[in-house]
Every structure is written in structure tokens, then in C-alpha cells.
Structure 1
Amino acid sequence: MTEHSRARRAVLAGALATSLASLPIVGRAQAGTLRVTAIPDESPTELARKAAPLMRYLEERLAMPVRFTPVTDYAAAVEALVNGQVDLAWFGGFTFVQAHHRSGGKVIPLVQRAEDESFRSVFITADAGIRSLADLKGRTLAFGSPSSTSGHLMPRSFLLAAGIDPDRDLRRVAFSGAHDATVAAVASGKVSAGALNASVWEKLLSEGKVDPQKVRVFHTTPPYYDYNWSVHADMPAARREALARAFTELSPSSPAGREILELQRASRFIPTRAENYKGIEAAARSAGLLK
């Protein structure tokens, strides 16, 4: 190599080093950051409270930075994982089906809570005249988000199975956006009844955030598969396996594990697979909510 070539290479190497050094620190760090989001099925403050200890735990288990980024609605969570803007997403059964469909099967479910193998929705009311689903005819009803499994799709499916078309037989259908907002709408009298996630209902009762003397459950649905943590198939297999182990090895025997499981309203996490959500896909197609 000539003296001129060596000098030219040194200049190029120096320029490259300067260019790399000028990159924003956060941009470089994100290459090794696990990016996480969740459907906004509860208030932003509650989602952040639930996420914080889980993110710390995943950082320790994976030995890498983990960043939780909230999204504004269910559709944004789907698009974020489909388009590679996040690596891990907490989906309801229907949002998983949407993401799996949108990605051509590239979004795959990783783990679910044991409780998600047999999930239920509840219909609630503060109206003494409502005792059954049939009594909803001519009344007003609040669902959660249009893309919510337990707050819209499955309650709608069970209403249709009972011979009640919400769009034809009810006076008005509203969408509150989140399960806790549905409870608030019923409690305030804005709607005659509401449909929501049974787990959120039980949590709000246990925390004293709803008066059971005023608002009550009048119908509980049959069970179905629901929530899961999903990843994109482009995630390396070794990382998927490490993530799955981190979740399935969470145990209430340790203080940290107990805190995370309680916040996630889970007894434990178990592996899951796409086939578990075929019933939800069928319900979505039947209701005209998945093309």
C-alpha cells in the first residue's frame, strides 16, 4: 500500500468515526432495545403502572434495554407490530387476529395468561328493569373499543347468537374506548348497559371503584380465548425463546414475580399458538368485522 493510499484510508476512517459519533445516542441504543406496547384497554396511568415492573423484569432477564411505548388506540398497536415499530405487543384476541391477518401470518402469539384459555365478558347495568340480554331491546349499550375482543367482538357475537342485533334492536350503541370507561358510562347513567372484560370488572370491584349496589352484572358470556403477548416472526428464534421463558418462569414465590403477576391479573403465563384464536377469527368474520 502506498503512502498516499494509507493517508487516504486514515482520512476516510476518521470521517467515518466522526459520523458515527455524531449519531444521537438514543438512535444507536435502540438497535439493542426491546420495544413494547399494549392495546389501551384501560386508562394510560393504569397501563403505565402495570407495565413498569414487567419492563424492569424483562430488562434483567434479557440483559438489554426495554422500552414501553403507549399507543392512542387499538389499531395503532396492531400497526406498530405489523410494521416493525415495536417488537412485543399485548393484544386482545381480536387485535391479535387483525395483526396476524394484516401481516400475512408474520405476527405470532408467544404466551398468554392461564386465565386467557377461558376468558369471559360481562354485561352490566344500573337499570332495575334489565335482567337479561332480551331486556336490552330498545335500550342503549356501551361497548369498549371497536377492536376490543372482550369489550365488543365477543359480546356482540353472543348478542347475535341470542337473536339480538345491536345495530337494529338497540336504541343506540356507543363505544367508550376502554373497559373502565364503559363502567363509568353505565354508573353515570349515560347508557342503560355496558359490556366489558370480566377481569377488569372484578378488579374495579376489588379496588372499590364501582358500587355493586348500584351497578351489577346481569349476564356473563360463555368462555373463549383472549389476550396474548405477540411478536413478529422476524424476531430471532433465540430471543423469542428467551422472552417466552421469561414470561413462563414468572412465579408468585418471589416478591417481584408476585407483583408482576398480580398487576397482570395472571396466576401464570403459558405458551400459546395461533390456532387458539380461530374461534375469534370466525366470530369476527361472522360479524363482518374482518374482511
Structure 2
Amino acid sequence: MSQTGTRVKVTRRWLVGVGVGAWLWSAAGWAQAQAVLRVTTIPEEAATEQVRKFTPLAAYLERQLGMKVEFNPVNDYPAAVEALVNKRVDLVWFGGFTHVQANRRSGGKIVPLAQREEDTRFQSVFIAKTDSGIRTLADLKGKQVSFGSASSTSGHLMPRSFLLQAGIDPERDFRRVAFSGAHDATIASVVSGRVDAAALDITVWRKFVQENKVDTRAVDVFYTTPPFFNYNWSVHADMPVELQQRIKNALLALDPAIPEHAEILRLNRATRYVPTRPENYQGLEAAARSAGLL
């Protein structure tokens, strides 16, 4: 729990399925309840790491919004999409591709509020063992290569898109295509030798390097993609507009000059949050269509 003493409840239940319970989404329902803002994220890392990263932000939002906040990890990327589409959570940290998927599933009812400044020019990296002889994307032919989740923007969609642009079809040209499910597991799959190379989120890679969780003398980046738009905080359009704006304002107000805010931003691998808009994700939708993922 946050050292501030605020009442942030962290639950580990699976959010998609029966028994979750209905939520009052009318304006009257919100006025009556104002009870809980339910927050989740795509599981780009292990659940324990998600809780560590987002509990301080949940505590901050609780104070700013004047309502209880629950952070609820989910088991996989599709679960995060279904949770917001079916209004079982209220605020979700999506990757760009999961935002696109949720928006399509909901009939255009998903509203992106804010993204990290880093997400306006995001990148993926390809990594391999330094003694593998892999130096270019072309060297991946005939190799075992891992992506993250199939629904990951930086761990699958965009790496696949750039591979296709380079004339490399993973199903045709790789000996085996694997999916680790999360960026930290992707790194582990290369370190352990289960695969020859892998693609992942550049910010997770940098975090592992900075925290000395990976030895770059043994495993390192051999290719970095061009930039693209990525993650955002999204809500369902049925949420009252006034609450949408309050959440957005709270995220944009995080100030790196304030120590508590700086720690939240550090945990979120962000310099600051900036406004975003639906148009930012049209390129990702086009890439997904081109790659046969939509």
C-alpha cells in the first residue's frame, strides 16, 4: 500500500467472466455511488510488478478525485480489452494496439485521455545473444524468435510490421515463432536460450539494463525500430464527461519537480503525461490491418 495511508484496494481477481457484478454507468449511478474507480492495465509485466508500479498512481488518483480507487490486475491482454468494453473497469492503461482492439469491439466507444510523452515517439527493440551472430533483421531467417503478447503493440504488432516492411515474414522465414506473453518474459526467453532473438518494448529493456537485471555483454539490442504512437489511459465513452476530464487533468498535473509525482512518473517510465487523441492510433490500426492482425 502507498505510504500516504490512502485507501487503495489492490485485488488480483480475474475481471472477465461471470460473477463480477454490474456497474451503474448512468450519471445518476455515478452521483449515487461515487464509490470506486476501477483501474487495470495490460499485463506487460508480472502482476507483482504491475501492483508495484501502479499502486502509487492509484493512491494519487484517489486523493485527486476524492473517490476510492481499486487497481485490479488481469491475466492477459484480451482480458483488459474485454474489461473496459464490458464496463467492468473504468480506466485502463492500454497499449496502442489494445486501444484499437477495444475501440473496434465497442463500436468506437473508447476514449483515450492521456499518454506519456514517450508514447508520442515510441520504439521497439530486437535483442539477441551477443555471440549469436545475429546483427540485422535478415539474420533472423531460420531462427527461433519470440514476440510478447499477440496483442502487444511494441512486443508484436509493430515489430511484425517492420519485419514485413523488410521483406521478412515470420511464419515463412523463422524456424519457430513464440509468444512469451509479457516483456520481462521475452527477455528471459533470450537470456535462457529458449529462443535466438526477440522483440519488446524499449522502455522495459532500458529499465532492465538500468536495474542491472540483464547483462548486455551477453544479450543486447541489435535493431531498434522507427518511432510510433503507443500506450494511453483510456475510458469508456459512457463515463460522465466531467469525470473523464477530472481524470485527464489529474494525469496531466503530475509534475516531475514534485518528489511524490516524480516517483509515480518514474514507476510509469514517464517524463510526464500529455494529452492524446483518437487520430494518433489510426496508423496502428492500418499497420494491424496490413499485418493481418485485424
Equivalent position SS for 1:47: helix
In structure 1, stretches of 5+ residues that fail to align are 1-26
Q: Deviations over 1:19-51 (max 9, x none)?
A: xxxxxxxx9997621000000000111100001
- In structure 1, which of residues 39, 42, 47 is the aligned counterpart of residue 42 of structure 2? 39
Equivalent position SS for 2:127: strand
TM-score (norm: length of structure 2)? 0.88
Q: Deviations over 1:135-180 (max 9, x none)?
A: 0000010100000000000000000000000000000000000001
Counterpart in the other structure of 1:22: none
Equivalent position SS for 2:39: strand
Q: CA deviation at 1:256?
A: 1.1
**Higher helix proportion:** 1
Distance 1:227 1:78 in 2: 13
Counterpart in the other structure of 2:104: 101
TM-aligned CA distance change 1:250 to 1:31, over 3 Å: closer
Equivalent position SS for 2:145: strand
- What aligned pairs does 1:1-291 form with structure 2 within 5 A after superposition? 32-126=35-129, 127-290=131-294
Amino acid aligned to 1:178 = A
Amino acid aligned to 1:184 = A
Distance 1:273 1:223 in 2: 17
Equivalent position SS for 2:43: coil
Q: CA deviation at 1:128?
A: 2.9
Amino acid aligned to 1:78 = V
Percent identity of the aligned residues? 63
Q: Deviations over 1:60-87 (max 9, x none)?
A: 0000000000100000000000000000
Q: Deviations over 1:98-131 (max 9, x none)?
A: 0011111101101000000000000000043100
Distance 2:276 2:165 in 1: 27
In structure 2, stretches of 5+ residues that fail to align are 1-23
Aligned positions, number: 264
- Contact 2:34/2:67 (8 A) holds in 1: no
Amino acid aligned to 1:246 = A
Amino acid aligned to 1:42 = E
Q: Deviations over 1:214-270 (max 9, x none)?
A: 001000000000000000001111111110110001011212101100000111101
Equivalent position SS for 1:212: coil
Distance 1:152 1:128 in 2: 22
Considering only CA atoms, is the larger Rg found in Structure 1 or Structure 2?
1
